[in-house]
Amino acid sequence: MTTMRTWFFTEDCYPDLPPQDEWDSIRVDLPNQLCEPENAHRLYNEYLDIWCAADEMGLDIMVNEHHQTATCMIPAAPIMLGILARQTKDARLLILGNPLPNRNQPVRVAEEMALIDVISKGRLECGFVRSVPYEAAAANMLPYKGSERLWESHDLIMKAWTTHDGPFNFEGKYYHHRQVNIWPRPYQDPHPPVWITTGGASSTDPVAKHGHVAAVFLAGYSRVRPVFDAYRENYLKHHGTHAPLDRLAYCGLVYVGDDERAVEKGANELMWYMQANKVTEQWKNPPGYHPPQVAAGIMKGAHISGSGAAYSTDLKEHMRRGNVFAGTPDQVYEQIKAFWEYSGGFGHMLMMGQAGHLPKDDTLRSMQLYADEVYPRLRELAATWDPEEIMEKRKAMPDQEHAEITDLSVDFVR
Amino acid sequence: MKLQGKEIDVVRKGSGQPLLLLHGGGGPIAAMPFADKLAEKFEIIAPTHPGFGGSKIPDHFNRVDDLVFLYLDLLDELDLNDVILMGFSMGGWTAVELATMNSTRLSKMILVDPVGVKVGGREDRDIADVFALPGEKLVELMFHDVSLAPKPADMPDDQLQLMAANRIALGVYTWDPYMHNPKLPHRLHRIKMPTHFIWGESDGIVTVDYGQKYCKLIDGATMTVIENAGHSPQVEQPEAFVDAVFKCAG
């Protein structure tokens, strides 16, 4: 049966910063004297409370990690997920993801993930990501050939998860490990579901080939079709059947309010996520992350997208682009439904439902409204999905142009 | 020319004693006025490091010693002898590594604001982190006269893309350990030929102080400091630079 799962996600930001003109970059070199331990303690516990509430409401959970940044206080997502593995009961636990090219010990990643899977009794969904450009300096890793590193690391982890008869040897181009024999092995057999983020059509092929879930962040109307369509084509090519609905995931900002006033307040607070990402040129452009054409554009002062679309931090504009879904339950359902149909359908809504100063109570209210009034209808909608019918239906919705998301789609996609 | 099965761009000009010229992270420099001047006395052989100047980086290349073996092959292939080895910045590092491995075809080495060794403690930033600096700050460290620096905003796209590609290649060869080989100081005793350092007085990438410490690590090495020049004295003070070269290798 086709269905839709919703994963509650927050980046765990540290929003209590001085005005933007008092610092250069929110990432990499923002001095950590601005991070008050007492305040961070309070924030971490609020975020954990929110995730635990998601579990109570019947939502699944998504966690990610970044380094040396106030946009995301989690430098070790497996630790957060380890806490949630114990403190939640039903939610599936998605880490999206492990920044494989920046981690020199894939076997350690395999071990951490297996540990979470066993503690949670098989609730882990394991994402692997190339990671964003700013992570290069923080990880001291050259991002050149990051995708190649990702896939070699992936292969080693998959083999570590699925080999149960003692040590094997792995001597690849990037990773060497001669006696691989992880304890514990994963709870799920043969292994936890795997997710990979993709930013463009060309990177979907290996994801589809492995049958992993492809997740797209903030691609908006203009990019979702090319990426999802490429995945579907590649999946059909490799497997001879249509990609199931649950192989595709979309992440957008979501805020559901009781009335217009609540929506206006909550959704604008969520926009912190878009507004706070002030980053200096050198952190956006480590050597080898972008191809020379893109890198040259950044040196010239361009934003990363290169689409020609204006950089925007405006709520209405981002709603138009399909990056933000905000309104009353009816409105949010209609917005997601329109985007879902336009995209050809996806089985996972990654709901970024908290950012910036959006208070815990407002966040919980939005989640509750979503869980009670939006989610059931999305599940019904997904149950009607048929891979051929939806493509017919889609033809009535012409491609939307000039709705390109800015830098942010690139920034946060991985 | 073909080396290790790969097509390598090599500029050859002038005549006289062979001078193998290894460029720095900014890319090929053999077309610059200083090189024309040197070509009046020497036969210049100037390869482009793979990845620079729009060329491809071979799949297995990721360290300076990949360049070293490439140029050892070049010396053999062209059967060059009595060679002056000249290296700039990361090309200087490459030259020093090459000289420690096999110097039989070499007679003299000239190093221009080279990197390659660490002279300070583990928390000293001996070499500016060029990948962590905004464009305008980098230019201030590179140049004595910043008006000579290329301005990305005014550059045509194809040139800017070459510059971006050069920066990627520089990262590939020098990222970690950053711009140096910790083992290199332990191998410098193998360098027996006359070695001369040329340094831009205002170099902020690697300072004169770094240069003096580097110079002391090589037996008998000497140094010329060029005034009113930064990391590329051959660009900012070509005449003084050429004079310094002729003086030690004329």
ipTM: 0.95
Taking phi over 0 as left and psi of -120 to 50 as alpha, with beta for the rest, A288 belongs to: left
Say which residue the tokens 């929506």 belong to: A263
Cβ(B97)–Cβ(B68) below 8 Å: yes
DSSP state of A374: I
CATH annotation of B2-249? 3.40.50.1820
Note whether A282 contacts B161, CB cutoff 8 Å.
Answer: no
**Chain B: residue whose CA lies nearest to A28:** B132
Q: Is B170 on the interface with A (CB under 8 A)?
A: yes
For chain A, the farthest-separated pair of C-alpha atoms sits apart, in whole angstroms, at 61
pLDDT surpassing 80 at residue A225:
yes
**Secondary structure element (H or E) that encloses residue B111, with its range:** strand B106-112
> By CA distance, what is B53's nearest residue in A?
A292
Q: Are A386 and A275 in contact (CB under 8 A)?
A: no
Q: Give residue-wise pLDDT tens across range A356-366.
A: 999 999 999 99
Of B153, B160, B171, the CB nearest to A287: B171
Three-state secondary structure call for residue B2: strand
Question: What confidence category does residue B202 fall into, taking pLDDT thresholds of 50, 70 and 90?
Answer: very high
Nearest-CB residue to B153 (from A280, A292, A301): A301
- Percent composition of chain B: helix, strand, coil (DSSP 3-state, to 5): 40, 20, 40
Average pLDDT over residues B209-215: 98
Nearest neighbour of A281 by CB, restricted to B135, B155, B164: B135
For the segment A243-258, the average pLDDT, to the nearest whole number, is: 98
- pLDDT band at residue A300 using 50, 70 and 90 as cut-offs: confident
Which band of pLDDT confidence, cut at 50, 70 and 90, is reported for residue A414? very low
Rounded (10°) CA dihedral A400, A373, A367, A92: -90
**pLDDT above 90 coverage of chain A, percent:** 86
Q: Which of A144, A280, A301 sits opposite B171 (nearest CB)?
A: A144
Given CB atoms, is A295 within the 8 Å cutoff of chain B? yes
Helix (H) or strand (E) holding A47: helix A37-57
Provide, as residue numbers in chain B, all residues whose Cβ is less than 8 Å from the Cβ of A280: 134
> Element (H or E) spanning A180, and its range?
strand A176-180
Owner of token pair 């006359």: B194
Q: What does the pLDDT look like over A182-205, one tens digit per residue?
A: 999 999 999 999 999 998 899 999
A230 CA to centre of own chain: 19
Confidence check: pLDDT of A137 > 60: yes
DSSP letter (8 states) at residue A3: -
Determine the pLDDT at residue A401. Answer: 62
Q: For residues B173 and B90, is the Cβ–Cβ distance under 8 A?
A: yes
Does the CB of B171 have a partner CB in chain A at under 8 Å? yes
Compare CB distances from B153 to A281, A287, A300 and report the shortest one's residue: A300
Q: What percent of chain B has pLDDT over 70?
A: 100
**What mean pLDDT is reported for chain A?**
93
Chain A hits for B163, CB-CB cut-off 8 Å, are 296, 299
CA nearest A299 in B: which residue?
Answer: B152
DSSP state of B13: E
Is the model's pLDDT at A311 over the cut of 80?
Answer: no
Beta carbons of B111 and B195 less than 8 angstroms apart: yes
**Whether the bond into A190 is cis, omega within 30 of 0:** yes
- Report helix, strand or coil for A318: helix
C-alpha separations of B3 from A334, B9, B49, B61 in Å: 63, 10, 12, 14
Q: Quickly list DSSP for B115-139.
A: -B---S-TT---S--GGGS-HHHHH
Whether residue A327 contacts residue A335, with contact meaning beta carbons closer than 8 Å, is answered with: yes
Instruction: Give the chain B residue nearest A293 (alpha carbons).
Output: B161
Q: A104, A290, A300: which to substitute to probe chain B, counting the most B Cβ within 10 Å? A: A300
Count residue pairs from A and B with Cβ separation < 8 A: 63
Domain ranges of chain B: 2-249
User: For B97-153, how does the pLDDT look when each residue is reduced to its tens digit (9 = 90+)?
Assistant: 999 999 999 999 999 999 999 999 999 999 999 999 999 999 999 999 999 998 998
- B163/A280 touch (CB, cutoff 8 Å), yes or no: no
The partner residue sitting opposite A300, judged by closest CB among B134, B160, B170, is: B160
- Asked if A395 is an interface residue toward chain B (Cβ–Cβ < 8 A), one would say no
Distance CA B28, CA B245 (A): 19
- Residue-wise pLDDT for B78-102, tens only, equals 999 999 999 999 999 999 999 999 9
Pairing of β A124-129 and β A168-171: unpaired
Domains and CATH numbers, chain A: 5-413 (3.20.20.30)
| Chain B residues touching residue A137 (CB < 8 angstroms) | 131-132
pLDDT at A301: 79
Q: Which residues of A touch B157 (CB under 8 A)?
A: 296
Q: With CA atoms as reference, report the closest residue to A128 among A155, A97, A157, A151.
A: A97
CA distances from B194 to A138, B80, B142, B169 (A): 42, 18, 27, 30
Decide if A295 and B168 are in contact by the 8 Å CB cutoff.
yes
Q: Do B133 and A144 lie within an 8 Å CB cutoff? A: no
Give the separation between CA B42 and CA B48, rounded to whole angstroms: 18
Tell me whether residues A282 and B131 touch, CB distance under 8 A.
Answer: yes
Q: Which of B136, B158, B166, B175 to mutate to test the interface with A (most CBs of A within 10 A)?
A: B175
